[in-house]
Amino acid sequence: MQRYAALLLAGLWLIAAMPAWAQPGTGSIKGHITTNDNKPAAWVTVQLKGSKKTASTDEQGHFTLRGVKPGSYELEATLVGYESVVKSVTVEEHKTVTVDLSMRVSNQQLEEIIIKSSRGVYNARQGSASLRLNEPLLEAPQNIQVVTSANLADQQVISMSDGVIRNISGAVRLEHWGDLYANIHMRGSQIQAFRNGFNVVSSFWGPLTEDMSIVDHIEFVKGPAGFMLANGDPSGLYNVVTKKPTGQTRGEASFTVGSFDMYRTALDLDGKLSKEGRLLYRLNLAAQNKKSFRDYEYNNRYTFAPVISYQIDEKTKLTAEYNLQSAKMSDVGSFYIFSPRGYASLPRNFTLMQPGLEPTRINDHSITLNLQHQLSDDWKLTAQAAYYNYQQKGTSMWPASVNPDGKMIRSVGIWDAKSEMTLAQVFVNGTVTTGLINHRILAGLDMGNKEYFADWSKSHALDSAGAEFDPANPFYGAPVNGFPVWDRSVDIETRATLGGGTINQRYSGLYISDELGFFDNTVRLTLAGRYTFVKQSSFGGSNEEAKRVTPRIGLSVSLDRNTSVYGLYDEAFVPQSGRIRNGDKVRPITGGNIEFGIKRDWFNGRWNTTASVYRIIKDNELTADPNEAPTSGYSIVVGQKRAEGIEFDVRGIIVKGLSVVTNYAYTDGKFTDAAEGTGFKAGDVVPGFAKHTVNSWVNYKVSNGFLKGAGISGGFSWLADRATSDWSENHNQQTLPDYFKLDGGVFWEKGKIKLTLNVFNILDEYLYSGSYYDWLNAYYWQSEAPRNLRFGIAYKF
């Protein structure tokens, strides 16, 4: 296998090094644009008039246009709201012409332009540096959607589990465990969680949902994404990009109050620590006290996130980031309701939660170092390392039994956990021109070591036979068996090992890609491959090794400056952890994705659309054994799954003042081969998705007149033909009803102040997701909040 990997990588480099004489010669234009007070002019659009060649200046004001045919041209630099600058240039074969321009705008005015243009923008034209794609999203041969900071602010999203997915076609949340972790499904499976380009999944139950105070934006990549270097699911991933220093001196303070005693405050400070601007900082703080529509539940969180960035020289920048998310919440299993009588057979605000139980406390630390070095005008090196440390001390409540009359014995299990991850990546982005062919090169190495320890080996029954908890007549006084007292005298590592609650993974991956641009870069062919090696063990099992080469082939064609069509074939290889009761070996997930799509920017990029069709085949996936408790550690092999569907996304400013996010997805997931013992057969529907999902969010702001600055917003989510969220051999169970949620609000913005009021679940619907557990002979579901509101005030300075 290593030999094939070497041949593949060598072949790609040979393509990249095609001799220049194979095509007629071209030249390049490089330049530097400054403001009239001699500061770098970032994000200026540079266009070669009479051609499709365009570029944008980087943070230092530099730009490059490659693959330009010899001849005389007019180079135009434009910035919204200011006069354009035009300069004549002559390009010669195999030569680079250098152009310096100055625009009549001060650095202060430029900062104001950037700040204003970032407000209210629902669409992104470029991915983050951690996405590694050195090209506009329009040209990438894959469906990639970005949830911007404007989306998050207008919808008053406060964490990764709080309505983010309404902005992405086909994304649903199941088994959400409140605000503990996100567990997002898309294209028929749970997708991977990334942060700043790192895969931060160390167990089935993580990571802790990110508080939005640290989040700049979120990138959803649909389908396999080897260019992220790390392991990833065939269905896709989301990449949380945290806030970094911008070089602008600014800040924002906000305060939010809401239903069920929610009080939240956040502070975002962004500025310079040195007069010349080489040493920058960003500091985000947040504190939140929040109760629930169910009695005795609460979720209090605190966030501390400082970032320091130092420009060592003109070519090198070092960024250091620390994040602390601290949570104190009620028992993490209290969100579940159980009944043999069917879904929603108990009141929406009913709870099994026993007051007096100890809180669950979580401290999630992460430290990241990122070094970026401009090797040349055409090549950039990025190296980053991260250390993640997650500590959890608490409990999870789950029934020991449910009687046919609905009475039950509630059991509280200890759930202490520790996760440590040490991660490192290094990659280079560069461009090479050989004749008339432009090459965008990405090559990188990814390594990681993940360890997860969990103690869920002890449990305590709150109730007893003959004195069961009765949902028809609940009693929340002292439980008949008293409260649990846990022995934590032994360290978590020892307890986890004795109880079989360990997951370990060590991996390395090598990735290389060449995107070949033909015909003035209007046709782009991507040839790429990834070699992955993983060694891992779980739940007391032996160490298993796996390795594989996975290819990627993509084609993207620009029909015009604003429209592209693409096709993609990509494979995934995801080693997984689990323990099968019969002792069978756990095999890695393998899968392939075929995808076609069309993307278009409308009205100079004010809004864009993406439509795609796909088919994913996925083998060997594990899921929790339905005959065991969720924390038992036992899994079953599903077999082979096929997911295929259609997705459509619209986002951006449709007309002045009107911003829209709208999406639709048709998802059809079925078993093509079901393993023995699952209770399923070929052709059965895959649990855990909605066949039809429709989302929309509209935001309108009055631009003139007496109501200038005022606005109205609203949106809905509709899920139809929902499959249950877990596995059961009982195929005569009730089906989940369609889901419809309507939200809306008003806002007012003037100068530095913005007031926002949103009402969620306006129709006061009883909304829930759930399934049937064979081993309990009962339905379970998690209900969402009734009609509730949030009022926020934000002040920018």
Q: What is the pLDDT of residues 603-644, one digit of tens each?
A: 878 899 999 999 998 887 776 665 665 556 677 777 788 899
Q: What are phi and psi of 42, to 5 degrees?
A: -90, 150
pLDDT tens, residue by residue, 330-366: 998 888 999 999 999 999 999 999 999 999 999 999 9
pLDDT of 9 > 50? The answer is: no
Query: What pLDDT score does 12 carry?
Result: 43
> Is the pLDDT score of 11 beyond 50?
no
Look at domain 250-796 and name its CATH class.
Answer: mainly beta
CA–CA distance, 125 with 45 (Å, rounded to integer): 13
Q: Decide if pLDDT at 16 tops 50.
A: no
What value, to the nearest 5°, has the Cα angle with vertex 506 and ends 501 and 511? Answer: 140
Q: Do the domains 250-796 and 131-242 match in fold?
A: no
3-class DSSP assignment, residue 75: strand
The 8-class DSSP code of residue 12 comes to H
Burial of 746 (0-12, 13-18, 19+ CB in 10 A): middle
Instruction: Measure the CA–CA gap between 430 and 381, rounded to whole angstroms.
Output: 9
In terms of Cα–Cα distance, which of 267, 152, 261 is closest to 789?
A: 261
Nearest in space to 754 (alpha carbons), one of 289, 156, 246, 250: 156
Cβ-in-10-Å burial (0-12, 13-18, 19+) of 309 comes to: buried
619 in Cβ contact with 642 (< 8 Å) = no
Q: Tell me how far apart the alpha carbons of residues 620 and 635 are, in angstroms, rounded to a whole number.
A: 12
**Among 398, 788, 383, which residue's Cα sits nearest to residue 631?**
398
Per-residue pLDDT, averaged over 107-130, amounts to 67
Residue type, 561: R
Residue extents of the structural domains in the chain? 2-118, 131-242, 250-796
Nearest partner of 333 among 259, 400, 258, judged by Cα: 400
Yes or no: domain 2-118 corresponds to CATH 2.60.40.60: no
Q: What is the pLDDT of residues 430-446, one digit of tens each?
A: 999 888 899 999 999 99
Tell me the one-letter amino acid at 635: S
Residue 216: is its pLDDT beyond 50?
yes
Adjacency order of strands within the sheet including 198-199: 144-147, 215-222, 236-242, 192-195, 198-199
- In the sheet with 45-48, reading across from the earlier edge strand, the strands are 54-56, 45-48, 71-79, 82-91
Classify domain 131-242 at the CATH class level.
mainly beta
Which residues contact residue 590 at a Cβ distance below 8 angstroms, ignoring those fewer than 6 apart?
548, 571, 572, 573, 574, 618, 619, 620
Q: Which residue has the tokens 């009693």?
A: 475
Average pLDDT over residues 289-308: 96
pLDDT exceeds cutoff 80 at 176? no
Tell which residue, 265, 264, 261, has the closest CA to residue 291: 261
